[in-house]
């Protein structure tokens, strides 16, 4: 099963992708996670991506397409995968189609996580994470036992710089202008499915399981 997860920031793509990938033994490829790791390590990709990410803008298509092409060439997407946060523009969607066709790989579904803007702002202003172990928390629904520190290793929690409200609002605008057009692209390919992502994480997962049954 080869899936694309689409949706605005904070719609739960990452949360659901991690859970489904674990249950179905799929490769979970999040371009956001790859880019954040590159920024942390100070690689050439990270240096080029950082200023765009801080402002909530998209990283240029050529960098992202190159990254995915590299993964496909290395065989990372041969056994079933979830692409989380890619593609995000029409050129990315078209390149993905070409790259997969070249390797005789077909997408099974593009799943759109549908959620309202104010819910996105609420979720992302409550998101905290532990820098070394990456454990995620969300205030007030999923708080650590001790305020501000990770349950696993007691490290002080941090927020993603792009979760600051003004940046989140820009990310939502960027999503509407640059990413929403690919909904039509996948509708035309007859593989688009929409899920109500405004429910609890467990209810969203149940809806997702029905779609991939």
Query: Shortest distance, CB of residue 201 to ligand AP5, whole angstroms?
Result: 4
Binding mask 158-187 for ligand AP5 (x = CB under 6 A): ----x--------x----------------
Q: Quick one: which of 29, 45, 59, 77 contacts ligand AP5 (CB under 6 A)?
A: 59
Query: Shortest distance, CB of residue 62 to ligand AP5, whole angstroms?
Result: 10
Q: Which of residues 3-32 bind ligand AP5 (CB under 6 A)?
A: 7, 9-15, 31-32
Binding mask 63-102 for ligand AP5 (x = CB under 6 A): -x--------------------xx-x---x----------
* 13 carries an active-site annotation: yes
Q: Quick one: which of 46, 91, 136, 144 contacts ligand AP5 (CB under 6 A)?
A: 136
* 122 carries an active-site annotation: no
* 127 carries an active-site annotation: yes
Q: Mapped to the 3 state alphabet, what secondary structure does the chain carry?
A: CEEEEECCCCCCHHHHHHHHHHHHCCEEEEHHHHHHHHHHHCCHHHHHHHHHHHHCCCCCHHHHHHHHHHHHHCCCCCCCEEEECCCCCHHHHHHHHHHHHHCCCCCCEEEEEECCHHHHHHHHHCEEECCCCCCEEECCCECCCCCCECCCCCCECECCHHHCHHHHHHHHHHHHHHHCHHHHHHHHCCCEEEEECCCCHHHHHHHHHHHCC
Residue 46 interacts with ligand AP5 (CB under 6 A): yes or no = no
* 171 carries an active-site annotation: yes
Query: Shortest distance, CB of residue 176 to ligand AP5, whole angstroms?
Result: 13
| Cα 95 from Cα 101, distance rounded (Å) | 10
* Positions marked catalytic: 13, 88, 127, 160, 171
């Amino acid at each position: 099963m080869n899936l694309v997860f689409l949706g605005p920031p904070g719609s739960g793509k990452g949360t659901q992708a991690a859970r489904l990938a674990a249950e179905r033994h799929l490769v979970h490829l999040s371009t956001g996670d790859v880019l954040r790791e590159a920024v942390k390590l100070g690689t050439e990709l990270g240096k080029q991506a950082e200023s765009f990410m801080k402002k909530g803008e998209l990283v240029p298509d050529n960098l992202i397409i190159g990254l995915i092409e590299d993964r496909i060439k290395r065989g990372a997407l041969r056994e079933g995968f979830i692409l989380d946060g890619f593609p995000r523009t029409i050129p990315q969607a078209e390149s993905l189609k070409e790259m997969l066709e070249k390797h005789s790989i077909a997408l099974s579904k593009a799943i759109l996580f549908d959620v309202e803007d104010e819910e996105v702002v609420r979720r992302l202003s409550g998101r905290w994470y532990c820098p070394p172990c990456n454990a995620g928390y969300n205030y007030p629904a999923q708080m650590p036992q001790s305020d501000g520190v990770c349950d696993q290793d007691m490290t002080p929690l941090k927020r993603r710089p792009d979760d600051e409200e003004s940046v989140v609002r820009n990310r939502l605008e960027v999503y509407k202008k640059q990413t929403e057009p690919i909904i039509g692209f996948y509708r035309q390919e007859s593989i688009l499915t929409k899920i109500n992502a405004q429910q609890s994480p467990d209810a969203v997962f149940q809806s997702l399981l029905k779609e991939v049954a």
